[in-house]
Amino acid sequence: MSSPRPASASSGPPDARPPVRRLTARGRHEAHRAATPLELFFDLCFVVAVAQAGVQLVHSVAEGHAGEGVLNYAMVFFAIWWAWMNFTWFASAYDNDDVLYRIVTLVQIAGVLVLAAGVSRAFEDHDWTAVVLGYVIMRVAMSAQWLRAARSGVPAERAMALEYAGGVLVCQVGWLGLVLLPEGGRGWLFLVMVVLELSVPAFAERTHPSSWHPHHIAERYGLFTIIVLGETIAAATVAVKSGIDENDALGELLPIAAGGLLIVFAAWWTYFVVPVHGHLRSNRQSFLWGYGHYLVFASAAAIGAGLEVAVEQAVGKAHISTLAASAAVTLPTALFLLTVWALHARHFKKGIAEQSVLPTAALLVLCCTLLGDLAVLLAGTVLAAAVAVGVALTARRAAAVRGRAAPAA
């Protein structure tokens, strides 16, 4: 079934449009611009890879190999997130929903599923072949989309699209080093390639920015955040259920379950407390905001992995201390809070009291790491209190504004 499109994106009724159309830029100020069923399907398939990365992170941390596990997680998650982000911004500017566009997008989905299938071998055997292959499939398909856009654009737009396509293909050559280089050099290669990948959009759009839609971008990022938080709840729920079924450890797991639920609920509230699309007014702002979401998505998914680690430690399956298990939850939680505050929450807060709520909550969550078996529950309680304080401060400011406006009325 064809997904609904705004009138400005089509030249007639859906059944009257040709199956293959020119891939022209959409207007940045289109009304009613919303995520499509294809984009939602795209997100759900990408979360399969996120879940696989989380599972392997749990195994690494639970077995006492946290440093190696976090490094592998960061590398795999970057490949997932970067491919997702590039498609999201491209689709915001060029999605025409024709047959060819859909097919190339499905190829990208196939690529991320290949990547997901190789995650366990990358973590356990340091074999990055399948991960790199999946990434190459996704990125070559993305390059093909840019080449198609270049055929329909004005000269400046054509130059931008060709630079995107060329930059994407050049970077793929560098990523082959994860397969060819010895293990000791892969970390440094990863850092170099991250810089190069992040530079491609800034270089390509230096003179002619693409026509991404602020409201659509904010919605797409919000939807992916919801899906990742949902995966976090699902993973933690399965871990708690297994612990109860296999070890009859309801008393030990109940504080973790309650605290984890409070953490995820507060994370959702914190992210969506303000509409952020109005903040995305320029390419500079959008680059910083979009790039920063690597930490938002990675930390949100890592919270679920941390809750699984805490469950395994509570039932005696993890070979780590209570302190390490607590840190597996509190560290990504604090990172999530600080990143969300830095990216958009701080732009909507007024005064020192409102601005300090999230940073203070992040610090208190880190302190909860030292509180033993109740660390997760107390961290969740801290976040619930932080949400309540934030709501109270916002309500007080709104009441003051109404009070000042009343005499004038």
- Residues 199-252: tens digit of each pLDDT: 999 899 888 888 888 889 989 999 999 999 999 998 888 888 888 877 777 878
Identify the pLDDT of residue 91.
93
Report which DSSP code applies to 104: H
Residue 135 clears pLDDT 70, i.e. is over it: yes
What domains, with CATH codes, occur in the chain? 36-204 (no CATH), 214-404 (1.20.1410)
Q: Where are the alpha helices (DSSP H) in 250-282?
A: 250-272
Q: What is the per-residue pLDDT for 276?
A: 74
pTM more than 0.75: yes
Distance CA 149, CA 109 (A): 20
Burial (CB count <10 Å: 0-12, 13-18, 19+), residue 337: buried
Q: pLDDT averaged over the chain?
A: 87
Q: Which two tokens stand for residue 148?
A: 């198609």
Q: How many CB atoms lie within 10 A of CB 389?
A: 16
By the 10 Å C-beta count (0-12 exposed, 13-18 middle, 19+ buried), 140 is classed as middle
Q: Which of 226-230, 273-277, 373-377 has the lowest mean pLDDT?
A: 273-277
Task: Using alpha carbons only, give the angle 127, 128, 132 rounded to the nearest 5 degrees.
Answer: 160
277: pLDDT confidence band, cut at 50, 70 and 90? low
Name the band, by pLDDT with cuts 50, 70 and 90, for residue 304: very high
408 has a pLDDT exceeding 60: no
CA dihedral angle for residue 208, residue 213, residue 219, residue 223, rounded to 10 degrees: -50
The alpha carbons of the chain give a radius of gyration, in whole angstroms, of: 23
